[in-house]
Structures are given as structure tokens and as C-alpha cells.
Amino acid sequence: MSDDGGISGRKVDHLALAASGEADFRERSTLLEEVHLVHQALPELAADEVDLSTSLAGRRLAAPVIVAGMTGGAAEARSINRDLARAADSLGLAFGLGSQRAMVVRPELEDTYLVRDAAPNVFLLGNLGVVQAKELGVARVRELVRRVGADALCVHLNPAMELIQEHGDRDFRGALDTIRALVQELGVPVIAKETGCGLSREAARALREAGVATVDVSGAGGTSWVGVEARRAPAGSAARALGEELWDWGLPTAVSVAACVAEGLEVIATGGIRGGHDVARALALGASAAGLAAPVLRAHREGGYDGARRFLESVVTSTRAVTLLAGCARARDLASAPRVLGPNLRAWLDDLGLGHGLGTHVRP
């Protein structure tokens, strides 16, 4: 696996573009805004007795919130990862690393991924692309997991992003066989993760049949990673033109959550999650947890560790508030709480055969 000549520079660009919002989806939303939980004026609950705990990939979290993987492989990534992992650990949340490919092609970058000493108890998610996992083989992937002390591995699927990226992958054959082998032999849970374009029901079914139990949908509506690579491509290039054309490609996060839940998978909702209200909406569709990346990064850039921790506390607080206002004593009960689905979300779900049981009313 060779360095394409600028992996650290690419990681810095990714951070800057994600934090700036310049690469957000332009027209496509998550459709989580069309999940309307019904207000209950008599919840008969105290806020401090609402149970936000959840189980994810066999691990208990204090709240269904993940700091989703976003960085590694550049000098500034070290302090960001350590601060965010420490903040997540202090609140009983999970934390994901960015792609570990950089530590394969440039071993001197390994320390940008090392957070275990700063966050000894955090549920830590490693991260590697499926194409790189195929090239490395199970034994070397297992070593990458061991070196960062990860509790599980996210295997990311990003064909749309790669097609725009200079020196990106173009051959995606063998992904399912690679994932199947990792599930059987890696020794830690394997989470299949998209990167901003969502997982369809067909993909969810194939992953389930390959032995995957947990997926991260990373749907459309937040940062467009096609857009990120389009921004990075030279003006006037074919890559820039293709990226502009496909900027809004992908399944909305809400649709992807419903698709994966329908296939019986444990679901992490990422892609455009901006606060606790979005977390609660995702749980109402059947997700077990939800992950945030860009908003946490922005909070860290504005206020360092303290700013990131305060932001994550606010996400937990608002998740608790919505759970109570929906009349639920436990966040996991949001999946069966009364809700109204908006017409655009309903249309997606109905056309894909996913509408049954997710709501009985369409909001005009």
C-alpha cells in the first residue's frame, strides 16, 4: 500500500472543509427533520430518572451518542483525537478514530491515533477502508486494531468519495468477502460504515448475510465527502466536474436508518446529526445510537477540550429532554413512541417498501 504523495495534506484539507461547512450537502437533507415525535404534556417522569443508556456492539454506553470518526494521520489530529476521546470517555460515550490508512503508509503518524492513555475506558472504534483491509489481510488489520487499543473496527465503504479523489480506489470487488473474513477472524466486533452516502436495504442485507451485526449508515445530509473531494480537485479538472455533478448523491440518513433496521441490524445513525433532537429522531426510527463529527470538531476548534465536552454535554441533555417530552422513561423506548412522518420521508419509505410500522400519519 503506497502513499499517494500527500496523505497528511489530504487529512488537513478534510478537517478544514468539514469544519467550514463549505462541503455540506446543498439540496439533500437527512430527512430527520420530518420525524415528528408527539409531545406528551403529562410524562409523569423526572428528568434525572430518564435512562439514556444503550448497548452497542456488546458494550454499554451511558448515552446513545458517539463522537464519529473524523481524523488521524496529520500533526493536528493528535491533539484533536486525544481531547475528543477524553471528552467522550468522561461522559460514557463512544469515540471513533479516522481512517488508519495513514499509519500503514507512514508509520511515523501512528501517534496521531493513540488515545488510550488519555481515555482509558472509552469505547474506541478503529477505522479502515475495506479496500485497504483487503490488501492488508486479516492478520495485519488485527495488528492495527491492537496498536491503537480499539474495542471494535469500523470498516468504511466509500466508493463515491474514492471516484472523485485523486489517486482514489477504483476497484471495489471483493469487499463482502473481506468483511466476511474480518467478522469471522478479527476477534473484535466489525462495524460496516458508509462515508456520507448511506446504506441501502440491499447493502444492509448483503452485510447481514456476511455476518455483520452493527452498521453505521453515514447517510446524506451533513458533510458531502464527494463535495469535500470536489473542493480539493483542481479547477477545471474532470474530477471537479464529476464531484460537482454528484455532490448530493446518497440516501438521506433517516431513510438509511429505516432500511438497515428493516434488515434486523443494530444501527448507528451518522450523517448530518447536529444535536440531541436529531439523536432522538434517529432512535425513533430504530437506531441504537447516533454519531456526530463536524459539530464536535467545530466546538473543539472554538473551545478546545472544554468546548467539545460542553457541546457533548448539551447533546446528552437535549436527548434526555426530548425523550422525556415524548413520554419515554428510556431513550430506547423512542422507537415505539407516537410519531408523525413528513411527506418527503414517507415517500422515500413507501417507494422502498419501508413504510410499514414507522408511522401512521403524514404531516401535510
Q: Which sequence spans correspond to the domains of the chain? A: 7-351
For the entire predicted model, the pTM comes to 0.94
The proportion of the chain whose per-residue pLDDT surpasses 90, expressed as a percent, equals 85
pLDDT in tens, 181-190: 999 999 999 9
| Residue-wise pLDDT tens digits, 75-119 | 889 999 999 999 999 999 999 999 999 999 999 999 999 999 999
Could you report the per-residue pLDDT of 120-151, keeping only the tens digit for each? 999 999 999 999 999 999 999 999 999 999 99
Which pLDDT score, from 0 to 100, does residue 55 have?
97
Fold topology of 7-351: TIM Barrel (3.20.20)
Residue 168 pLDDT > 50, yes or no?
yes
Cα separation of 73 and 300, whole Å?
A: 18
- Reported as a pLDDT band with limits 50, 70 and 90, residue 362 is very low
> Residues 293-319: what's their mean pLDDT?
97
Q: Which band of pLDDT confidence, cut at 50, 70 and 90, is reported for residue 6?
A: confident
Cα separation, 224 vs 192, in Å, equals 19
Cell numbers 508509520: residue: 107
What b/e sequence results for 204-228 when a residue is b if at least 16 CB atoms lie within 10 Å of its CB, and e otherwise?
Answer: bbbbbebebbbbbbbbbbbbbbbbb
Cβ contacts of 41-47, under 8 Å, gap ≥ 24: 42/327, 43/324, 43/325, 43/327, 45/324, 45/327, 45/329, 47/320, 47/321, 47/324
The answer to whether the beta carbons of residues 165 and 204 sit under 8 Å apart is no
For residue range 194-250, what is the model confidence (pLDDT) as tens digits?
999 999 999 999 999 999 999 999 999 999 989 999 999 999 999 999 999 999 999
The phi and psi torsions of 61 (rounded to 5 degrees) equal: -115, 150
Banded model confidence at residue 363, pLDDT cuts 50, 70, 90: very low
**3-state SS of the chain?**
CCCCCCHHHHHHHHHHHHHHCCCECCCCCCCHHHEEECCCCCCCCCHHHCECCEEECCEEECCCEEECCCCCCCHHHHHHHHHHHHHHHHHCCEEECCCCHHHHHCHHHHHHHCCCCCCCCCEEEEEEEHHHHHHHCHHHHHHHHHHHCCCEEEEEECHHHHHHCCCCCCCCCCHHHHHHHHHHHCCCCEEEEECCCCCCHHHHHHHHHCCCCEEECCCECCECHHHHHHHHCCCCCHHHHHHHHCCCCCCEHHHHHHHHHHCCCEEEECCCCCCHHHHHHHHHCCCCEEEECHHHHHHHHHHHHHHHHHHHHHHHHHHHHHHHHCCCCEHHHHHHCCEEECHHHHHHHHHCCCCCCCCCCECC
